[in-house]
Amino acid sequence: MPESAKAVLVVGDQRVELPILVGTHGERAIDISRLRELSGLVTYDPSLANTAITQSAITYIDGDQGILRYRGIPIEQFTEKPNFIEVAYLLIFGHLPNKTELSQFSEALTENELLHEGLTQQFYHIPLDAPPMAILSAMLSQLACYHQEFLKVEDPESFLAVAARLISKVRTIAAFSYRRSQGLPFIYPDPHLRYCANFLHMMFSLPYKQYIVTPEIEDALNLVFILHADHEQNCSTMTVRTVGSAKANLFASCAAGVSALWGPLHGGANVEVIQMLERIYQGGMSAEECIAAAKDKSNPFRLYGFGHRIYKNYDPRAKILKQACERVFANLQHKDPLLDIARKLEELALADPYFIERKLYPNVDFYSGILLRAMGIPTNMFTVCFAIGRLPGWIAQWKEQHDNPESRIIRPRQLYIGLVEEKYVPLAERQTSQRIF
Ligand code: CMC
């Protein structure tokens, strides 16, 4: 990473020189890693909104211009013939696979698509109404019990083997959690089907009737997974990196990523969006009331699927997903009234000074749920689909960190604002209630 001129920090009569690092596109970052050592000072950046926590060569985002690239390739270029497995390989291994590499990787996925029967049995002990994200996180974590040979991965072959296991099994776990919630028998993966078709087969086939996926739906699911595949240092990826920085294994790190993704401000927003659109459809509120509620600071409600920490422009993923919705519904016999409501909400928001001033645009979650609904995926599986898509990104980020000899455990500092020093009071002597923080 090239270094340009130094930044000079002056605090009283102290003068500290700090290197400035320059990224591929000329973006500059003041390297404060030695600041405390040089000056006794730390930096304060709640929510890390202004902190680059790593150098990374995986994904590039220009949030002002609405640009997203995987390993330098604009995501728009993956939309023509979407192939999620190719993109997963690209993210993890840094280059597009050649024919041999792609077929080897695909074979590894096929060979690892089954779950250990011990793990499969565990689905029977989970309540029928359990949230699928809780199941996914628990089951990914439990893969560590059945594949202990991968608790440490020191060579490229083992890494490929563990990555293939995770990417393949996550889809089986996801489908089984849905089958269980419906009280339906598990449908085992079919080695003749491609990744997305196989997922839909495990979700929707019946013992007496094979689910046949159309090319449009298979492409649409590939597209959804690709558009979610990585997004640099977002909340769940940062979680995966944090857990991985302690040298925790890939299963545990990804399971933690699933938990972070579950939150409604992150991947869980795709569920909130559909619930919001359904509420409008059912007459619970109008689109105008929805916008008003989102602007009302005394109301915790937000316009889900809008706004982003990095994008201050239209999220390029939302643009592609909106077009995909239109394409898919043009081929389907039915329409989804939620698509019209979403379009109307978007129009109202984009014309409203509140959203204009704050540069709030549709994000990836605004249209993804409508597309997933078109495939018959139930709402409570939306965030699970986000997780299936994001898994290659988590694996790639974990690997990049793991392979970097300069990586250290992630351990930020704090600015302590609590009591100075207090005396311990034995229980029997405590008269008044103690302050609780
Ligand atoms: N509806 C209403 N107001 C909003 C929204 C929204 N969706 N998003 C941001 N704002 C307001 C926010 O209240 C603040 O206003 P003010 O300046 O008056 O205090 C301003 O815009 C800046 O927002 P912020 O909360 O400081 O932004 P952030 O970077 O901390 O949060 C966000 C980003 C995505 C959490 C937020 O925009 C949000 O809550 N959006 C809705 C949830 C959502 O769609 N999440 C999915 C994100 S994309 C997929 C993913 O990566 O997970």
> Cβ atoms within 10 A of the Cβ of 358, count?
13
What pLDDT digit, counting tens, does each position of 251-294 carry? Answer: 999 999 999 999 999 999 999 999 999 999 999 899 999 999 99
Per-residue pLDDT of the chain in tens (437 residues, 90 and over written 9):
555 689 999 999 999 999 999 999 999 999 999 999 999 999 999 999 999 999 999 999 999 999 999 999 999 999 999 999 999 999 999 999 999 999 999 999 999 999 999 999 999 999 999 999 999 999 999 999 999 988 988 888 899 999 999 999 999 999 999 999 999 999 999 999 999 999 999 999 999 999 999 999 999 999 999 999 999 999 999 999 999 999 999 999 999 999 999 999 999 999 999 999 999 999 989 999 999 999 999 999 999 999 999 999 999 999 999 999 999 998 888 899 999 999 999 999 999 999 999 999 999 999 999 999 999 999 999 999 999 999 999 999 999 999 999 999 999 999 999 999 999 999 999 987 656 55
Q: How far is CA 269 from the centre of its chain?
A: 11
First-to-last CA distance in the chain?
43
CA-based torsion, 320, 323, 325, 328: positive or negative = negative
Measured by CA distance, the residue closest to atom 29 of ligand 1 is: 309
332 Cα: distance to centroid of ligand 1 (angstroms) = 33
Residue at 303: amino acid letter: L
Gyration radius of the chain over CA positions: 24
Please tell me the residue having the least CA distance from ligand 1 atom 50.
Answer: 266
Pair 81, 223: CB distance under 8 Å? no
Please report the atom of ligand 1 found closest to the CA of residue 47. 30
Ligand 1 pocket by C-beta < 6 Å: which residues?
231, 234, 265-267, 269, 294, 302-309, 358, 360, 363-365
Q: How far apart are CA 385 and CA 173, in angstroms?
A: 11
Can you list the positions of beta strands (E) in 208-351? Answer: none
SS (H, E, C) 37-49: HHHCCCCCCHHHC
pLDDT in tens, 44-82: 999 999 999 999 999 999 999 999 999 999 999 999 999
Residue 404's alpha-carbon distances to 55, 231, 325, 365, 401, in angstroms, are: 10, 20, 40, 32, 5
Catalytic residues: 308, 365
Residue type at position 63:
G
Question: Which of 390, 360, 389, 79 minimizes the C-alpha distance to 225?
Answer: 389
Q: Determine the Cα–Cα distance for residues 213 and 375; give it in Å rounded to an integer.
A: 9
Task: Report in angstroms the alpha-carbon separations of 60 from 71, 230, 359, 412.
Answer: 7, 10, 20, 24
Say what the pLDDT of residue 126 is: 94
Q: What are residue 244's phi and psi, to 5 degrees?
A: -65, -25
- Gap from CA of 239 to ligand 1 centroid (Å): 19
268 CA distance to ligand 1 middle (Å): 14
What pTM, to 2 d.p., does this model score? Answer: 0.96
Distance 392 CA to ligand 1 centre (A): 26
309 C-alpha vs ligand 1 centroid, how far in Å? 7
Element (H, E) at 295: helix 287-295
Q: Which atom of ligand 1 is nearest to the CA of 358?
A: 21
Ligand 1 pocket: which of 321, 360, 382, 386 to mutate (most atoms within 8 A of CB): 360
Residue ID of nearest Cα to ligand 1 atom 15? 358
Distance between CA atoms of residues 401 and 409, nearest Å: 10
Residue type, position 419, single letter? L
Residue type, 322: K
- Could you tell me what percentage of the chain is helix, strand and coil, using 3-state DSSP and rounding each to the nearest 5? 55, 10, 40
DSSP string, 414-431: ----S-S------GGG--
